[in-house]
Amino acid sequence: MDALCLTNTRLIDPDSGTDTLGWLRIEGGVIAEIGHGDAPSGGVDCGGHCLAPGIVDIGVKIGEPGERHKESFRTAGGAAAAGGVTTMVTRPDTTPALDTPEALEFVTRRAREAAPVNVLPMAALTKARDGREMVEIGFLSDAGAVAFTDCDRVIENTKVFSRALTYAAGLGVLVIAHPQEPGLTGGSAVTSGKFASLRGLPAVSPVAERMGLERDLALVEATGARYHADCLSTAAALPALSRAKEAGLDVTAGVSIHHLTLNEFDVGDYRTFFKVKPPLRSEDDRIAMVEAVAAGLIDVISSMHTPQDEESKRLPFEEAASGAVALETLLPAALRLVHAEMIDLPTLWRALSLNPAKRLGLPSGRLALGAPADLVLFDPDAPFVLDRFTLRSKSKNTPFDGQRMQGKVLKTFVAGAEVYGGV
């Protein structure tokens, strides 16, 4: 592979926490040289724009197998490249669920054929994600599963979950859970409060998240498992997370970009593109999540990309499917926090790239010699109005449709090869 030198660029390094003007040389698919003085001649002038590690996005839903009409590896891969996402960590909530080595081999092959970015599959934790019998964790791990999760289906049987955590701990694999108390969350569509009452929608208290997380953390303490909470969204859950980390448990937590940038009032007049899981929270909760990311208490920001077709969303709010596409909107939405001066770029990229890579044991997510040249070049200030029909995802269910945003991806590189070059 030919060498490439990117010059006159702001190097965003989440590992050192720096944002400095410099240059970077790629050779053989890895970062070969980084400098801050005079750049080598013949390089590509980046116009002073930002160069950062490519985003590592944990929790991307792909429709293959079973729901290819909502999203395929080809369309998701194109959306990821356009959004600066160089590694998609995909969910097993497919039809059927990814709960066998054969199913995992199928998606791995399809991803390799169709997606221009790295794709790492997660496998289900229980068979058919029904919470009754755990999968063959060892075989699936050998087949390439990077983590195990039943996604938004909470394993209600504590004994089953405890056994799965014990087995996972013995193999050293990562378990990802969706901390909610299902007895409280069942049938809910929004977060409880005045707004929910005014709209007459079935609601759930934020305490359901705290209860679910505290149960999970108690079992993690008992089993010694490696655990990641996929999407925290309430201030009430943060003290339990803080205590677990202080106690030395192998615990991390994530938050979705929607819970960092939107709140319960965005539902407005029953706008179903704003229906997500967990439901959007209060403004106080949103700010608490942003502060937790800035402080490092919450480790990872994810898109929680969940494509839904028009038929699934054009329903009464409580009947509509949950979820939003976000591979292409993750970066500009996250930059809202930077423009609001709530977080700086290196700290943001710690949560978007470095921490998820470290959690999965990947060499990416950093600007370091010998690291994979998975990079995103972006203009953090470029303004645009989002038109959902221009998105590369098959499904167009974004809550940001028609909104003014700032931040455009200019180029995306995977192993040094340009997989996206914006206009």
Task: State pLDDT tens for residues 265-285.
Answer: 999 889 999 999 999 999 999
**Listed residue (295, 376, 380) closest to 340, CA to CA:** 380
For the chain, percent of residues with pLDDT exceeding 90: 96
pLDDT tens for 380-405 read: 999 999 999 999 999 999 999 999 99
User: What does the alpha-carbon distance between residue 310 and residue 320 come to, in Å, rounded to a whole number?
Assistant: 10
| Average pLDDT over every residue of 106-110 | 97
pLDDT tens for 308-324 read: 999 999 999 999 999 99
**Listed residue (360, 331, 351, 197) closest to 289, CA to CA:** 351
H-helix or E-strand containing 328? none
Q: Residue 315's pLDDT is what?
A: 96
Does the pLDDT of residue 423 top 80, yes or no? no
Q: Residue 58's pLDDT is what?
A: 98
What does DSSP assign to residue 363? S
Checking phi first, is residue 92 left (phi over 0); if not, alpha (psi -120 to 50) or beta? alpha
Residue 345, both tokens: 């770029």
The answer to whether 374 touches 87, Cβ cutoff 8 Å, is yes
Checking phi first, is residue 189 left (phi over 0); if not, alpha (psi -120 to 50) or beta? alpha
Q: At what angle do helices 207-223 and 158-171 cross, to 10 degrees?
A: 50
Q: How confident is the model at residue 41 (pLDDT cuts 50, 70, 90)?
A: confident
**Listed residue (78, 56, 114) closest to 365, CA to CA:** 56
20 CB contacts (<8 Å, ≥6 apart)?
Answer: 10, 11, 13, 36
Query: Which residues are paired to 5 by β-bridges?
Result: 25
| Average pLDDT over every residue of 113-138 | 98
Which of 6-20, 188-202, 238-252, 387-401 has the least mean pLDDT? 188-202
Q: Residue 42's pLDDT is what?
A: 87
Q: Residue 38's pLDDT is what?
A: 86
pLDDT tens for 233-272 read: 999 999 999 999 999 999 999 999 999 999 999 998 899 9
Q: pTM of whole model > 0.85?
A: yes
**Listed residue (162, 98, 108, 182) closest to 135, CA to CA:** 98
What does DSSP assign to residue 95? S
Query: Which residues are paired to 90 by β-bridges?
Result: 60, 121
Q: At what angle do helices 207-223 and 238-246 cross, to 10 degrees?
A: 20
Which domains does the chain possess? 54-364+383-403 (3.20.20.140)
For the chain, percent of residues with pLDDT exceeding 70: 99
Residue 78 backbone phi and psi in degrees, to 5: -65, -40
Does the pLDDT of residue 344 top 80, yes or no? yes
Query: Is 95 exposed, middle or buried, given 0-12, 13-18 or 19+ CB atoms closer than 10 A?
Result: exposed
User: What does the alpha-carbon distance between residue 306 and residue 91 come to, in Å, rounded to a whole number?
Assistant: 10
User: What does the alpha-carbon distance between residue 138 and residue 346 come to, in Å, rounded to a whole number?
Assistant: 36
For tokens 């590694």, what's the residue? 87
| Average pLDDT over every residue of 67-80 | 98
**Listed residue (345, 342, 293) closest to 17, CA to CA:** 345
Does the pLDDT of residue 2 top 80, yes or no? no
